[in-house]
């Protein structure tokens, strides 16, 4: 496989990785690991299938593997600085920060689905294929993520779905 086939997909992979992990350096590492694995495993890609969805599937697997390996060793994220202040007006910047903060509180499986659909504009079927989960699971995770975001942005405290039984 030549690199020319992957090159058009790099900006979308970077954007998704950045939104997923929240740190540009970790996102760059995730994209690099994804591209390296894609190049090494290209013989497994089925010609005629969606290369973009295949790359997101690889990124998902790499991300999950990284989460598992980091579970034993906590990390401290460095602040990227105020990148938004250079491009976005104050009111919009605050809304973006609120949304970023709310998305960061979502469980990883919900965050992945909402970012692939809302940010990367993949269809439910493409997300299902990329994450290797049933389409119904994609829809339920998206629903739960949207509900949590609505509540969080409305200032409603999170509620437990567990009930006390006497």
pLDDT tens, position by position, 24-71: 888 899 999 999 998 888 888 788 888 888 898 899 888 888 877 766
Q: Answer whether 0.75 is exceeded by the pTM.
A: no
Fold of 1-80: Rna Polymerase Sigma Factor; Chain: A (1.10.1740)
Query: Is 76's pLDDT higher than 60?
Result: no
Better-scored residue on pLDDT, 142 or 86: 142
Q: Which residues of 89-101 are buried (b: 16+ CB within 10 A; e: fewer)?
A: eeeebeeeeeeee
pLDDT at residue 86, rounded to an integer = 53
Rounded mean pLDDT of 102-108? 86
* CB distance 56 to 50 below 8 Å: no
Better-scored residue on pLDDT, 97 or 11: 11
pLDDT tens, position by position, 5-16: 888 889 999 988
Rounded mean pLDDT of 146-150? 89
* Domain positions in the chain: 1-80, 82-152
Fold of 82-152: Arc Repressor Mutant, subunit A (1.10.10)
pLDDT at residue 164, rounded to an integer = 67
Which residues 6+ apart lie within 8 Å of 83 measured at CB? none
């Amino acid at each position: 496989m030549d690199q020319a086939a992957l090159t058009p997909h790099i900006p979308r992979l970077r954007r998704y990785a950045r939104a997923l992990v929240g740190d540009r350096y970790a996102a760059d590492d995730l994209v690099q690991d994804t591209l390296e694995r894609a190049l090494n495993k290209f013989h497994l890609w089925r010609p005629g299938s969606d290369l973009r969805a295949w790359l997101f599937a690889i990124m998902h697997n790499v991300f999950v593997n990284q989460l598992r390996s980091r579970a034993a060793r906590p990390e401290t994220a460095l602040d990227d600085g105020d990148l938004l202040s250079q491009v976005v007006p104050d009111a919009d910047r605050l809304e973006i920060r609120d949304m970023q903060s709310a998305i960061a509180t979502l469980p990883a499986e919900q965050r992945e689905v909402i970012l692939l659909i809302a940010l990367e504009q993949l269809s439910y079927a493409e997300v299902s294929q990329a994450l290797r989960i049933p389409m119904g699971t994609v829809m339920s995770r998206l629903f739960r993520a949207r509900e949590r975001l609505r509540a969080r942005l409305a200032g409603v405290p999170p509620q437990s779905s567990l009930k006390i039984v006497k």
